[in-house]
Structure 1
Amino acid sequence: MQEKLAPFLVLLAAILWGTTGTAQALAPEAAHPVVIGAVRLALGGIPLFMIVLLLGKLNLRHWPIKETFLAALCMACYQPLFFSAVTMTGVAIGTVIAIGSAPILSGMIEWFFLKKSPGRVWWYSTVLSVIGCLMIFVNKESMNVDPYGIVMALGAGLSFASYTFVSGKLVGRHSPIVIVAVVFSISAIILSPLLFLYDISWITEGNGFAVSLHLGIVATGFAYFLFAIGLIHLPSSTAVTLSLGEPLTAALLGVFLIGEHLALTSWIGIGLLLIGIGMLILKSEESKKGARPPVR
């Protein structure tokens, strides 16, 4: 059953990630993006870790320490790299490069380490989705091509692609909820020094507390738990391409909740993104029925 639902679980995770932009827009003005990233990791991982401990599900025997720390480091790096890139280059360029580069980098990582080249459907889907992502954001603000910001955005894309690849190996050996709990708790510890460098008093405000809970528990802990379950049955390259549902969700929420206006180009981009994601889901379904070999 989980195998059939795997693409939809990853897509649902991406939809939950897509709510982070709207949630941040509702946060107090004093909320620094880098601190938001650290807080969401803490609230996403530590409560899950406590639940895992209470349920007695944490078994450290033969625990893959190297892979776990690498996954935690990748996720810890993603937060400041992405938010710094957005600050330096703007939301449009930062988001497109970070999120759009991740599927390509993921395919390269699979090819380099597993010697598996993604199939044609993956390439078609990824190209359509990345172009769609670019078209969604291209008219939203003036472009600011900062070389350092672009490097940081590429670093964020590589961090997410690497996290997905390593997590795909981890969930094959351990429970997804345990993996997410341990990895995100370690990530939160790595980023904890940031909480002493910025003002965090906004968390005690009503909307600040609500936004923090949503970002941590829903858009991080629960979302990455779903993502981890999907990774059990999907190649990391496919999962990363499906995660492009994040900018799609962010754009639609911006229209319907924040009152943003999208140009015709952006709506065409949404259509291309939907087609690209739909192609991957259909291909996954056909592969499970044995009609064609799995997407690899």
Structure 2
Amino acid sequence: MTDARHSARGIALVLMAAMLWGTTGTAQSLAPATLSPYWVGSLRLVIASGFFALLALGAPARSGAWHWPPVLLAGVSIAVYNLSFFAGVRASGVALGTAIAIGSGPIWAGLLQTLLTRRLPAPLWWLGTLVSVAGGVAMALGQSGGLRLQAGGVALCLLAGLCYAVYALANKHLVLALGPVRTNLVVFVGASLISVPMAWVLGGPLQAGTQSWAVVAFLGLVSTGISYLLFSSGLRHISGATGVTLALGEPVTAFMLAVWVVGERQQLLAWLGLAAVIAGLLVVIAAEMRSAR
């Protein structure tokens, strides 16, 4: 398989992961208000860890040394990402919170990758990324009907974007050495051990009924387990920064679900933002394919 075909496969896998992530906000909105967002983020990590543990039972063993520093870095990053993302979205609203968290991720990733490799990503990548991020902001403003910033919520969402970028770059290193299943298993188990005590401290005792567990089970198995397996598999073939940018397919999916499933009527600004996100993603894909060739 040529490098270009490898890249095309990686792009497709990451986009499929982003589509599954796009169901997160809708699913979270179905959870009862009594369920703390900190517990939502933590429990989905626990369920995803069980999912990866089952997959690991049938996965072929790999020889080689474990890369504990990036494992710990990825685990801490994904734990803080989940806690800050769900809390930030609760404070800022689903549309705006998701736009800030997911939109800031590619910028963080581009800057971090530049520091690590001492080389800026291609100008075409920056163009596509900035267009997509701007489109994501326009989508959020069009859906929310205005700009309603809450300082704490914005800070949490920006922290979530930074942690997601750190996780993606560390995950890129790990998945090449350990494979997608073992990488996600050790990262999510570590993240669960960190996030559950934090959820207890920040969110109080767990209060979850049948509806809460149904929502968390979906988030853990589908929006986290399957999606992160696809994402990690895709990162084997594309750059970490490109993987983070392609995650902007998440708000596109969430937007379409709101229109087709929920029946929401969107403003013109939101539709223009949707077009900008898609156009920017196409530019980023072109930049990645050009690099592969």
The TM-score, its normalising length taken from structure 1, stands at 0.89
Aligned twin of 1:82: 85
| 1:148-190 deviation per Cα after TM superposition (whole angstroms, max 9, x unaligned) | 3322222111100000011111111111111011101111111
Cα distance per residue 1:69-128 (max 9 Å; x no partner): 110000000112122222333334422221111101100001111112111211111111
Unmatched 5+ residue regions in structure 2? none
Say if 2:232 is the partner of 1:228: yes
Q: What does residue range 114-125 of structure 1 map to in structure 2 within 5 Å?
A: 114-125=117-128
Aligned position for 1:156:
160
Alignment of 1:15-54 (within 5 A): 15-52=19-56, 54=57
What is the one-letter code of the residue matched to 2:235?
L
Report the equivalent of 1:276. 280
Question: Which amino acid is 1:94 matched to?
Answer: G
**What per-residue deviation string (whole Å, max 9, x for no partner) do you get for residues 178-221 of structure 1?**
1011101111111112454445443x51x433322221111111
1:62-73 equivalences under 5 Å are 62-73=65-76
Identity of aligned residues (%): 35
Q: Cα distance, 1:279 vs. partner?
A: 1.9
Q: In the TM superposition, what are the counterparts of 1:1-296 in structure 2 within 5 Å?
A: 3=6, 4-52=8-56, 54-55=57-58, 57=60, 62-141=65-144, 142-194=146-198, 196=200, 197-198=203-204, 200-202=206-208, 204-205=209-210, 207-288=211-292, 290=293
8 Å CA contact retained: 1:20, 1:219: yes
CA distance in 2, matches of 1:78, 1:27: 19
Q: Is the 8 A contact 1:57 1:178 kept in 2?
A: no
When the two structures are superposed, what TM-score results if normalisation uses the length of structure 2? 0.90
Instruction: Give me the whole-angstrom Cα distance separating, in 1, the residues matched to 2:70 and 2:289.
Output: 30
Instruction: Supply the AA of the counterpart residue of 2:259.
Output: V
Runs of 5+ consecutive residues of structure 1 not aligned to the other structure: 291-296
Name which of structure 1's ranges 82-91 and 96-105 shifts more when overlaid on structure 2.
Answer: 82-91
Deviation at 1:281, TM superposition (A): 2.3
Aligned to 1:166, the other structure's residue is in SS state helix
Paired amino acid for 1:63: W
- Supply the RMSD in Å over aligned alpha carbons: 2.0
Letter aligned with residue 153 of structure 1: C
Q: Which residue of structure 2 lines up, in the alignment, with residue 294 of structure 1? A: none
Change (3 A) 1:174 1:137: same
Report the alpha carbon displacement of residue 35 of structure 1 after superposing the two structures with TM.
1.1
